[in-house]
Amino acid sequence: MLYMKGLALMAKKSILRIGNHLSSSKGYLAMGEEALSLDANVFAFFTRNPRGGKAKDIDDDDVKSFLAFAKKNKIGPLVAHAPYTLNPCAAKEDLRKFARETMADDLDRLERTPGNYYNFHPGSHVGQGADIGIELCAALLNAVLKEEQHTTVLIETMAGKGSEIGRTFEEVRAIYDKVELKSHVGVCLDTCHIWDGGYDVRDHLDDVIDEFDSVVGIEKLKAIHLNDSMNVLGAHKDRHQKIGEGNIGLDALARVINHPKLKNLPFILETPNEHDGYAKEIKTLRGLYKG
């Protein structure tokens, strides 16, 4: 009986999927190797310069080598990130066209590494109003999503600075509801963003997750950006801080990675760090993970 209980406990034990943003300048295999050196088993990268511009040509041999490397070392999923310059709900048509063409191109390129995620900021309505912003963001998704694609696009929760949309769970759900190919869309929750947006993940994490589940649906949550915040609750400023050095704190972020509704998701660090800093944070969080 004790032996059977031991097997059951082992079967339930999970492995923390954690990593950070990596530079894509040297290609996919280089990112995979760097992730492994950090003891990361997931990672994020910008599909092109985060300020926009033409994407670097993809080396298909590099992709093939990476896919074999990732399979061998159990790395994934990838959480690609759209450039910051995209504004799906801009007031100017030329800016919306740029966002639409860039996202469509990114999704085509990501077909080389199928089964992963593409995260994007839903944008700023720049005075048009949140309802118009939501309409325009959903319209962009409806223009670029294809039934045959193998990448899930993730709407990121935002801090609500300026005229950002996606600042509340209700706004995220409103975007999702207007998307036609819902099977190809999910959500990425950023701990810094929602803290800055007024959701108290430090002292009321269960309530926040229950609210997300009630408004959006926990099954739509596919990835988490795990960040501390330089700001007080509800500041609407979006300033990331190193893990344990901000106003959310290490204890609260440890509860995030161990929350039963979250613990099996990929966690991406976007903290102000270089290689050694990320390695330290990953080691610390692995030590706090209860499996």
What CATH code would you report for 16-288? Answer: 3.20.20.150
Q: Among 17, 21, 48, 81, which one carries the catalytic annotation? A: 81
Q: In the annotation, is 238 catalytic?
A: yes
Catalytic annotation present for 236: no
Identified catalytic residue from 84, 170, 207, 275: 84
Compute the mean pLDDT over every residue in the chain, rounded to the nearest whole number: 94
Tell me whether residue 259 is one of the annotated catalytic residues: no
Domain ranges of the chain: 16-288
**Cα 153 to Cα 79: distance, rounded to the nearest angstrom:** 10
Residue 51 bears catalytic tag: yes
Instruction: Compute, in degrees rounded to 10, the torsion defined by CA atoms 66, 34, 242, 228.
Output: 10
pLDDT for position 54:
79
Q: Which of 106, 171, 196, 238 is catalytic?
A: 238
- What pLDDT shows up at residue 55? 85
Question: Is 184 designated active site?
Answer: no
Q: Which is catalytic among the residues 255, 270, 286, 289?
A: 270
Residues 116-139: what's their mean pLDDT? 97
Residue 2 has pLDDT above 80, yes or no: no
- State yes or no: is 81 an active-site residue: yes
Does this model's pTM top 0.75? My answer is yes
Confidence of residue 12 (pLDDT cuts 50, 70, 90): low
190 is catalytic: yes
* Tokens 């290609």, residue located: 27
On the question of pLDDT at 6 being above 50, the answer is: no
Write out pLDDT tens, residues 166-221: 999 999 999 999 999 999 999 999 999 999 999 999 999 999 999 999 999 999 99
- As a whole number of angstroms, the distance between CA 102 and CA 92 comes to 16
State mean pLDDT over 252-280: 97
Among candidate residues 225, 228, 278, 281, the one labeled active-site is 225
Cα 247 to Cα 232: distance, rounded to the nearest angstrom: 6
Say if residue 5's pLDDT is above 70: no
Position 10 confidence tier, pLDDT thresholds 50, 70, 90: very low
The average pLDDT across 107-120 equals 97
Residue 8, pLDDT above cutoff 90: no
